[in-house]
Every structure is written in structure tokens, then in C-alpha cells.
Structure 1
Amino acid sequence: MTLLHAAGLRLSFGSRVVFDGLTFTIDEAERVGLVGVNGSGKSSLMRILARAAEPDRGEVQLRRGASVTYLPQEPEFEAGATVASELEVARAPLRAALAAHAELSGRLAAERDEAAHERLLAELAALSEEIDHLGGWDTAHEARRLLDRLGVKEWERAVADLSGGTRKRVAIARALLTRPDLLLLDEPTNHLDADTVDWLEEEIDALGGALLLVTHDRYFLDDLVDRIVEITPGAGVTSYPGNYQAYLEQKLVAEEQGALAQHKRERWIAQEVAWLRKGVEARRTKSKARIARARQLMAERGFTPPRVAELKLAPAPRLSQVVLEGEGLVKRFGATAVLDGVDFKLQRGERLGLVGPNGVGKTTFLRVVLGELPPDAGRTVVGAKTRVAYYDQQRTRLDPEQTVYEAAGGGAPGKGGEDFVELSGRRVALRDYLDDLLFPPTVQRMQVKALSGGERNRLLLARLFLEGANVLVLDEPTNDLDLVTLNVLERLLLDFDGSVLLVTHDRYFLDKVATGILAFEGGGRVTRYPGNYETYRTLKEQAARAAEAERAAPRGGERVPSPSPRRGEGRGEEGRPPARKPGKLGFNEQRELEGMEAAILAAEERQAELERTLSDPATYQRDGAAVAGLRAELETVTAEVERLYARWQELEGLRG
């Protein structure tokens, strides 16, 4: 069944037409990926579908009663909002349904008219289904789980005081809690570390509604969507069944067929032009028809392969043996150690990916290595021939009031003359280089603030690559880039003769580009792994299993003690001694562990029984007054299940 239908949408900004005649449909529970080059209107279309903006023309029809939740690239919050208040907003539909359920239960218990009684039972059954759809009876637990997994701890803190990345995490939790019929996600993985992206993928996959997703994360697209819709500037939308990999395969076949048809068309036109030049007697009816067909064919628009941004690098000096090095680097902010005795060496030709949770110190490390922040201890060494180009994730080097041409390094309007850049051993006009980057002359005269996020990113990368650097330091360069430009950037870095330091959460990008991984593990520790991201994950899992086996394995008939605590880890909070080390359980603990599985099963069975009873309208018909007691028991049993699981894990950990 159709959930959403958009017909004949047109959107323009001044003389720039973003899309025209755009029409497409989303069915119930369908998972759709939206792709297209930067500036093609993906985010604008999302806003229109969410009723946050209006098109110049066309209409959007949504199935009656369907709910939509929209997560933009930059989330918006009400003034004075706190983390807790935003979650309350997300749970508002559920709270309303629960309140209506309770009110209806009271009316049902007091109702004596049989017809009215049956009608109330039907309404109660519908409300029970709605409550289940919106997340069930215990939403506070779900909210806590989401925020804890997203690393948001301070419920009462004002959203305005949070970092951009943390605000995005609050917005993600808010969106997931709403459980809408249609979830619109615009670049949800921006500012998230790779482990959190893995978790978010699983959470979205578990939702029951439809999904429209814009993301540059190709693993995300591959795992979550079952159809790709591509926006092509000036050509509407094209739908491809399957995930992102299937889309690439189908698109390649379509382009090959289009190129072949264009080749045949050009040969036919050449034959007809040669025939026309012979001075055929056009008075004959047959000749007139052939002339008309030839002219019509020449007037038609043939197949043209899609344009791709041509990122290029200015020539750079060859690196010396020493590129960038750090010895014993220490950096603290108050009592927090971001770097604690870190040794580091970047060699010629290496491409190192930096990974780790947000806030663990990746950007601080880059700034210390580049000399923007002084270390508290240790030293950095920069090679004699090292020339660094630094891309900061905040894009602070772009002036939003400048034109695109000026921001790329060109002169101000009215300056006169032509600006040139050195590329591949030849002198190229700056305006031609920008045109190759999909910034035509009309866009070159626009201000930077009018560009989309991806277009700004592409502009900053283009300017960066003109600096003649032999070391590229890129902090989240993949954010907002379209998938085609990401492929171009991958090839450029793979062909680059210099060295690269790269911070990105894009797992696919790291798998393609990285020759080594620097893993930031918290507490100021940094560990180096060879290979790409997949190799790093494999080695990390192997090391964790080996460490666990070593701690558990007996040596000479004695239990192996756990490693000594690191500096500052000897005692717990408030001076308490550290947790008990794994070893032999006491008699009572062993008895408790043996009966734990049966206790958990019994508690879960009672929990399921109570949920079934509360969702059954007959419960309210038999004894409406008992409903409050059943709900209280459900809360108690739910808490008991959580306690039993926690105790089971504790006992297993003690047993080792």
C-alpha cells in the first residue's frame, strides 16, 4: 500500500532550478536510499516531504493518519530545551495513547450498555495496538537505553550547552523513540564514531516503519535499503531495486547501453547529414518524410554520461625521510589526559586512519602534531620538506560572504585579468577548474553561504588541493559529500605520492584508503594497527579474546591474576577497593548461578503474560479496577528481569 506520493515537484532558488517535475512513491515499510550529486536537492526534498518547506509547484500526499519523523543534518531544538524535555517530546504520542487507554479502561469498567461496551472494547484493542507500535508500556527504560548507548549521560543539561555531535545524538534518540510510519534521515551518521554507526544501523533495521535515507556511508546503504532513488539534475528521478551495490551494477549497465545507443545514433545522424548534402529532391513525399525524421533526430537530446567532479592536486615537492613524528606526547585538559606518552611516526606514502569514540582526542592529536596546540610534554618533529594542507571538520577556512570564485582563491569582482592554477604540469584558468568541479559560472558568482553542505565540502577540498602539499591532514572530509565525489576522492588519495592522516567514521572509505590505523582507546592511549579498518577490527577482536583467555587460563595449578590496574585505576569511586577479581565462586554464589537461568525464564514468562493481559480488551471488561495493579506488577517484573540479567553477568564475570 502507498504510504507517500510526491507528484510534479518543482523547486528553484532564483535562476537555479534544483528539480522540476519530480515524482516518486514510497510504500508502507519500504526502505529507500536517496542518492545524487551535491546540490541535486536531496536535503531540500527531505524538507518538503517532512512539510518543513514548500515546493514552488507540485504536491505531497501522505496516507491518512500516518506519522512522519524528520532528522535533518543540523537538528533544531526549541529554546531552553533539555535532553529530558526532548525525549518527552518524542514520547508525547505514546503518553497520549497511554492516557487515552487508562481513561477508556475506566469507562469500560463502568459501562453497562452492551452496544457501547462492544464499541469501547474495539477502541481499546486499537489503542493497545497503537501503544505496542509506539514502543510498548515501558518507554522510560527505552529512552535510557538509547541515550546510554549514544553516550549522552546528562539528562537535565540544556541542549544549547552541548557540542554539535552530542546534539545530533540527542536528536537521533528523539527520532528513534517516535517510531513513526515514515522516518526521514538526512546524513544520520555524521559526527558518529564507527562503533556507534554499527549500533545505529541495527536500531534502524529493527524499526517497523518505512525509511527514506540520505547518507554517504555505503555500508549503511547496502545493509538497510531495498531500493535506491537517484536524483539527476535536470532529469528527475530514477528508481533502482535493491541495495547500493545492486544500484551500482544496474547503473553501469544502463550507462553502457546508453553509450552504445548514442554511438548508433551518431552514426545514423552522420549518414543522414551526408545524404542531405547530396541535394536530394525534397519535392518527393518520401524524401520530405526522411528529411523531417533526420531533423527531429538531430534536435533530440542524446545520451550524455553524467559529469563527475574532477578533483586534482597541484604539484608538490618530494618528501624527505622524516615526514611527521611525535615522541612521548602528553596533552591534558584539567584532570583529563587526552594524550599520555604517545609515540607516533608518519612515513612517506602512508595513509593512516584515526578511529575512536567522539571526544577521545583525535582532533587534538592532529592539532598537537601540526603545532597548533603545544604538548604538555614530549616533542614533535616536522621534516624539512614536509608541506601540510589541513582540512578541519568545521570548515572555518571558508568565508560564507565570499563568492565561490573568491573562496577558491580568485580575485574579487572587477579586479580584472584572469586567475590561473598549476595542475598536472600545465596552467589552467581557475574558472575552468571550478567548472570541472561542477561549479559552473553561474554558481561561481554565488556566495558560499548559498551552497549545500556537500558543495562547501567539495569547494574546500578543491582549494586545499591547490596548495601544493605533500602531506594531507583531513579531519572528517567525507561528511556531506555525495557518493560519486567520495569515489573521486578515494582514487585521488590512492594515487597521491605523499602521506595522509585521515579522521573519518566512514568504514568503507577506510577500508579502501587506509594502510594503517591509529586507534584512540581513551585515557590518552593510542595503538597502531597495520592494514585497513576491517583488518583493525579483526586484530582488535583477536587481541581481546587472547587477553581474556590468558586471564582465565590456569598456570601451574594456580589461578592467573588479572593484570595490575593502570595508573589511577587502583581504587574505585570514593576510595572503595577495586572489584573482586575472577576466580572460584563461593558455595552460595555457585548455587545462585545454577538457578539463575530458571529464575530469568520465570520472570520473563510472567512479564510476557502481563503484557498479553494488558493488551487484551477483555481484561478491562472483566475487572477494570485491577488494571492499575497489573501495570504496577509489570513495572516491578521488568525491573526484576533487568536485575537478574545484571546479577547473572556479575556472577559469570566472578567465575571467570
Structure 2
Amino acid sequence: MNYISTENLTKSYGLKVLFKDISFHINEGDKIAIVAKNGSGKSTLLKILMGKEIADSGTVTINKDIQVVLFDQEIDFEGELNVEEFMMTLDSAPILALKNYHHALHTENADDMEKALAEMEIHKAWDLENEMKQILSQLKITDLEAKMKTLSGGQIKRVALAKLLLETRAEHRHTLLIMDEPTNHLDVDMVEWLENYLSKAMVTLLLVTHDRYFLDAVCDIIWEMEDFNLYVHNGSYATYLENRMIREDNLNSTIDKANNLYRKELEWMRRQPKARTTKSKSRIDAFYETEKVAKTDTRKQKLELDFEMKRLGKKILELKNIDKSFGEKLLLKDFSYQFQRGEKVGIVGKNGAGKSTLLNIIQGLEPCDKGEIETGETIKFGYFSQKGLTYKEDERVIDFIKEVGENFPLANGRTISASQFLRLFLFDDQTQYSPISKLSGGEKRRLHLMYVLYQNPNFLIFDEPTNDLDLPTLTVLENFLLNFQGSVIIVSHDRYFMDRIVDHVLAFEGDGKIKDFVGNFSEYREFKKTQDAGKKNQVEEETQQTPINSDDSKRPQTKNKLTFKEQRELETLEKEMPELEKRRNKIMDQLNNETDYEKISVLSKDLETVSEKLEEMEMRWLELQIE
């Protein structure tokens, strides 16, 4: 079933062309990722498909039997609504049926209840509320009464994501799910959950993402937007890279041939008398076409960041017995670490665990409660933070960079100008002289990155650098960091980026504990899963053990010989008590993870019944032991 077809779409903003005459189709079951540098029109294309933007020319045909749902980077919400009320603002028939059912429960009107029950059956809405709470729970949103205005940016994004996933479940229609950077501000556990959910779900998907592991796990088609065109690649990210390389090699071969022809045709053009009017018009037209190809700039395909780093002394950075708390929340406890020249450290942990606090302490931006920090005299930090750039509203890109310096030193003793440096980061001449305020969000992140590197630091600190950066820029950054001779600290949830760069991991495990793990990020994740599984098995084994299974010498000695009937009763108790205890522990685990109030009530009653029964059996067991 065809969902969307487009023919010859073109979109520009002023003189800036985003894409020109692109055509494509989206069919049921397609899972498509869009890859392009920031400013190429990815988000604009999504908005055109949603009907929020209009193309300059071309047609978009959307099947009337489908709904198109967008998960945008900008989330609209009413701050006074609580989480559950926000989720229930979905405009779908199953949600409306659920609302009417709750209304009928409160009014206790028989006619309303009869009508509501019929709607619930028609729209298959009985499990919808449980599904909503399950999705929210998976995304670590448990307080459904919390006001939206009190949530953090990451929590708002997770609630909005839950709402979107619920909408695709609630509507029993064909749905195209469009997602713009869905993994931004999600921690690794939640990214992996979403990855698993979307890879298994029977959905049609179009997404923009910089997360390459996520892309490979979820999508099997890649759209590449480059040079105003759209190229389709069937397969993995590696397939896309291979196809792109082949295309670029073919382009370079075409340019070489055009250069040879251009030199010959240029000589012919120069020999012709200016006043002569009998020149072959077709040959002259062909000359200008050849010139256009011959002068194609392919330097952007060969980006290298071979910079001259400032000298790094013997002393780098040492942290000694650092403590840090905020109120009763302990972030760092007796933490010590000595950074070495050239090492690349990844810092991981849940949101709020203290990762950014450690970065601030290292740079002297925040004091520690206890401990010492020794920083080498030659150290110059370069900090790429999540806060973004501070700039004047009308300041131009080129002027912003020139505030640092007119030129930048290269490793071979030469220098490059600020303008050349900007070109390395994919800022063309037109963009360089544009106000920073006119840049897209991703372009501002890219400018922030190059602003940090342009200051020529020898100790780089990156706090979530991959958010909103495009894949071409990430590739340039990764290649630079692999050859960087200074020290690097990276806080990131991007598994691919971390695996490619870091030597070992500092993992915030809670209560001030930091695990120093030698290896890359995926290796640490495997280690952690194995460790957690071992702890879980140990707890289960300990739970299954009861006093009656302990060493015989510790049991109370029976004073009198039991009758045959009493002996059989004792054996039965010793067999049933462990099973009943396991059942009690299982109910308690369910209670800890449950957010549905009705289910909590039922589980609480079950727990009370089981606990009373177990207590009776334990008392009888003791009586039989001391008889």
C-alpha cells in the first residue's frame, strides 16, 4: 500500500536552495532514515509532508486512508495539565471512548455507562489505559499527577514520546510515524527500549537521527540529502557509506575528464576572434557546461582537521579524594583519578547522576565539598557544553569566529584563515556572512563545536556533543579526536560515537560510586548486564532460602517425638512455605513497578492475604518444632 508519493519537490529560503526536483515514495512497512548535513532541509521536508510547510513547486500526494503523526523537536504543551491529562489530550476515537467511560463512572448514569461501554467495545479501548501507563513506566515517568510545567526538558520529551507511541496504538488506522531526532535527551536504557520497540513494531517510519546504532537497528532504507538531491540506499549505514564513496569516486572521475576537456575547449575559445559571429553556439554552450563540472568543489568530501595542538606538559590533571553532594543527594564519594596525555575517557550514567557536575568541578566552575584538584600549568580546556552559544543577535558567523583570531595554526607550520576554517565545518561563503540568529539549531551546534576547537585547546571536554550534530560533522569530529594528542573527556549517550573514541569508561553507578572500566562503551554495557544478572540470581537464591533450609544444627531441637500425622504436616509446611514466600516477593516486585492504581489495590490485597497465610504457617512450623 502506497502512503505518500512526491514529484519534483523544490524548496528554497531566499537564495538558499534546500532541495530541487526530488521525487520519492513511502510504502506501508518502510522504515526510512534521512541522513544529511544540518541546513540541508531534513526538518523542512518533514514539515512539508505534515502540511506545516509548503513546497515552492512539485506535488505531494498522501493516501486518504492514512494518518501522519510527527514527533518534533519542539513540543507544545499546556503547563497546568498533569502528565495523565496531557496524555489524554489525544484526538482519537479510542481515547475519547476511554474519557467517556471515566466520565460515566463518576456520574453513575446508567444511560451514559451503557453508551460508554458500547464505545469501549467498538474502539477496543479496554487495554489502552494500561498500555499508556506501561509506556510511561518504560520511559521512567511514574508520577502521573506531576504538572507538565514542573518537568525537565528531558522528561517533557519522554512524555511527548509516550503520547506519540500511544497514538499509533490507539488509532486502528494505517499510520506514518515521522520522528525528528527521537533519541536526543534520552539515556541509553531508554534509547535501547525505543530501539527495540520500533524495530519490532509493525509501523511505517520516517525518521531523522544521528544515532548510527539506532539507525541500523530500526531502519532498512536510508535517504541521503546532498547537493539539493535525494539519493536512496537500501540496506545498512555501512551500505550507505559504500554507495556514497562509489558515487564520489565516479564524480571525481567525471571532474578529471571534464578538466581535460575544459583545457582543450578553453584554448579553442581563446583562439576565436571576438567579433566573429559564426562560432558554433552548441559548442559554446557545451563549453560552459564542461566548465561548470570541471570547477565542482569536492573539498568537502576530504575534510581533515590536522591542527597544531598547544604544548602539553608532564602534569595533566589529577583529582584526589573528591566528595560532592547537593543536599542529601550524594554525587561523588572519595573519587580519585589521574588523567594521562592522549587518553580518551567516556563518562556514562543516568541523568542527574552527577556527570555534568564532575565536568564543572574539573574546570573550576564549581567547588567540590572535599578533596584536591591539581591542574597542569600548560592545560587549556576546550568545553563543548549543552547550553550552546552566547552571541549577539545580529552578529555574523565570520565575525564571531574572528573574535578568537584571524588565523589558525596547522600541524605543518602553515596557517588557515577563519574563513577557511569555517569551510572545513561545511559553512559556505554565503552562510559565513549570515547572522548567527538565522542558522538552524544544528548549524548553531556545529558553529559552537568549531568555536571550541578554533581556540586550540589541549584538553577537550564534551558534554553530549552529538545532540543535533549531523552525521557528516560527526564523522569529521570523530576522525579529529582519533588523532588528537591531548586528553579528552566525553559525556554522551551516543553508543557508536563512544565506541569509536573512548579508551575506557567512568560509570556513575549511584550513591557517589564511580566504576573505572577499561574498554569501550559497549564492552562496559555487556559487563554491567552480566554483573546485574549475577546479582539478580544471587538475590533469587537468597530469597528461596528460608530458616527451615539452614544447617540442621541451627534448628530448634524437638523435645518430643512427633506423631506420624504431625510429621507429615511438618514436611508439608517445609515444602509449601518457600513457595509461598516466593509468591509474596513476586507480588512485592510487581507493586514496586506498577503505576495502575486499580492493579495496585488488587496486588495490595493479595499481598495481605499471602502474608497472613505465611505467618500462620510459620507459627505452626515453630509449634511443631518445639513440641
TM-score interval w.r.t. the shorter chain?
0.7 to 0.9
Go from structure 1 to structure 2 and tell me whether the alpha carbon gap of 1:55 and 1:77 turns closer, same or farther (over 3 Å shift).
farther
SS at 2:505's partner residue? strand
Go from structure 1 to structure 2 and tell me whether the alpha carbon gap of 1:639 and 1:208 turns closer, same or farther (over 3 Å shift).
farther
| Counterpart amino acid of residue 316 in structure 1 | M
> Contact 2:305 / 2:476 at 8 angstroms: preserved in 1?
no
CA distance in structure 1 between the partners assigned to 2:505 and 2:583 by the alignment: 45
State the shift of 1:96 in Å: 3.3
SS at 2:387's partner residue? coil
SS at 1:348's partner residue? coil
Go from structure 1 to structure 2 and tell me whether the alpha carbon gap of 1:154 and 1:253 turns closer, same or farther (over 3 Å shift).
same
Matching residue of 2:353: 360
Task: Give 2:290's match in structure 1, choosing from 298, 317, 320.
Answer: 298
CA distance in structure 2 between the partners assigned to 1:203 and 1:453 by the alignment: 28
Task: Give 1:244's match in structure 2, choosing from 218, 231, 237.
Answer: 237
> Contact 1:338 / 1:522 at 8 angstroms: preserved in 2?
yes
Matching residue of 1:230: 224
> Is the deviation greater in 296-305 or in 431-440?
296-305
State the shift of 1:276 in Å: 7.9
> Contact 1:348 / 1:498 at 8 angstroms: preserved in 2?
yes
SS at 1:527's partner residue? strand
SS at 1:540's partner residue? helix
SS at 1:464's partner residue? helix
> Contact 1:189 / 1:217 at 8 angstroms: preserved in 2?
yes
CA distance in structure 2 between the partners assigned to 1:643 and 1:28 by the alignment: 45
**Alignment map for 1:503-542 (pairs within 5 Å):** 503-542=491-530
What are the superposed Cα offsets for residues 15-43 of structure 1, whole Å, 9 maximum, x if unpaired?
22222323322111211111111110111
Task: Give 1:166's match in structure 2, choosing from 142, 155, 162.
Answer: 155
> Is the deviation greater in 304-313 or in 320-329?
304-313
- The answer for unaligned runs of 5 or more in structure 1 is 111-123, 412-417, 562-584, 597-634, 652-656
> Contact 2:393 / 2:435 at 8 angstroms: preserved in 1?
yes
**Alignment map for 1:57-96 (pairs within 5 Å):** 57-90=57-90, 92-96=92-96
| Counterpart amino acid of residue 253 in structure 1 | I
CA distance in structure 1 between the partners assigned to 2:299 and 2:407 by the alignment: 26
State the shift of 1:528 in Å: 0.8
- The answer for unaligned runs of 5 or more in structure 2 is 105-109, 550-572, 585-597, 615-627
CA distance in structure 1 between the partners assigned to 2:297 and 2:434 by the alignment: 26
Go from structure 1 to structure 2 and tell me whether the alpha carbon gap of 1:314 and 1:245 turns closer, same or farther (over 3 Å shift).
closer
SS at 1:178's partner residue? helix
> Contact 2:78 / 2:148 at 8 angstroms: preserved in 1?
no
**Alignment map for 1:40-55 (pairs within 5 Å):** 40-55=40-55
What are the superposed Cα offsets for residues 347-373 of structure 1, whole Å, 9 maximum, x if unpaired?
111100111111111101111121111
User: Is 1:140 aligned to 2:129, yes or no?
Assistant: yes
CA distance in structure 1 between the partners assigned to 2:100 and 2:233 by the alignment: 43
User: Aligned residue pairs: how many?
Assistant: 552
State the shift of 1:80 in Å: 2.9
Task: Give 2:207's match in structure 1, choosing from 189, 208, 213.
Answer: 213
Go from structure 1 to structure 2 and tell me whether the alpha carbon gap of 1:397 and 1:99 turns closer, same or farther (over 3 Å shift).
closer
Go from structure 1 to structure 2 and tell me whether the alpha carbon gap of 1:270 and 1:16 turns closer, same or farther (over 3 Å shift).
closer
Matching residue of 1:3: 3
State the shift of 1:553 in Å: 8.2
Matching residue of 2:188: 194
Matching residue of 1:370: 363
State the shift of 1:309 in Å: 8.4
SS at 1:9's partner residue? strand
Q: Percent of counterpart pairs with the same letter?
A: 33
SS at 1:221's partner residue? helix
SS at 1:352's partner residue? strand
**Alignment map for 1:323-362 (pairs within 5 Å):** 323-362=316-355
| Counterpart amino acid of residue 406 in structure 2 | D
> Contact 1:404 / 1:443 at 8 angstroms: preserved in 2?
yes
**Alignment map for 1:598-617 (pairs within 5 Å):** none
What are the superposed Cα offsets for residues 606-642 of structure 1, whole Å, 9 maximum, x if unpaired?
xxxxxxxxxxxxxxxxxxxxxxxxxxxxx989978x9
Matching residue of 1:501: 489
Matching residue of 1:574: none
CA distance in structure 1 between the partners assigned to 2:189 and 2:391 by the alignment: 31
> Contact 2:309 / 2:485 at 8 angstroms: preserved in 1?
no
User: Is 1:483 aligned to 2:471, yes or no?
Assistant: yes
Matching residue of 1:405: 398
Go from structure 1 to structure 2 and tell me whether the alpha carbon gap of 1:529 and 1:401 turns closer, same or farther (over 3 Å shift).
farther
Matching residue of 2:310: 317
User: Is 1:462 aligned to 2:459, yes or no?
Assistant: no
> Contact 2:389 / 2:448 at 8 angstroms: preserved in 1?
no
Give the CA RMSD over aligned residues.
4.1
What are the superposed Cα offsets for residues 395-448 of structure 1, whole Å, 9 maximum, x if unpaired?
14445542212322349xxxxxx9333333323221232233222232122222
> Contact 1:83 / 1:156 at 8 angstroms: preserved in 2?
yes
State the shift of 1:9 in Å: 2.9
Go from structure 1 to structure 2 and tell me whether the alpha carbon gap of 1:266 and 1:139 turns closer, same or farther (over 3 Å shift).
same
TM-score w.r.t. length of structure 2: 0.78
Go from structure 1 to structure 2 and tell me whether the alpha carbon gap of 1:586 and 1:63 turns closer, same or farther (over 3 Å shift).
farther
CA distance in structure 1 between the partners assigned to 2:258 and 2:208 by the alignment: 36
Go from structure 1 to structure 2 and tell me whether the alpha carbon gap of 1:11 and 1:257 turns closer, same or farther (over 3 Å shift).
closer
State the shift of 1:288 in Å: 6.3
Go from structure 1 to structure 2 and tell me whether the alpha carbon gap of 1:589 and 1:139 turns closer, same or farther (over 3 Å shift).
farther
Matching residue of 1:566: none
SS at 1:458's partner residue? helix
SS at 1:307's partner residue? helix
CA distance in structure 2 between the partners assigned to 1:410 and 1:100 by the alignment: 61
CA distance in structure 1 between the partners assigned to 2:511 and 2:602 by the alignment: 33
| Counterpart amino acid of residue 444 in structure 2 | R
> Contact 1:83 / 1:159 at 8 angstroms: preserved in 2?
yes
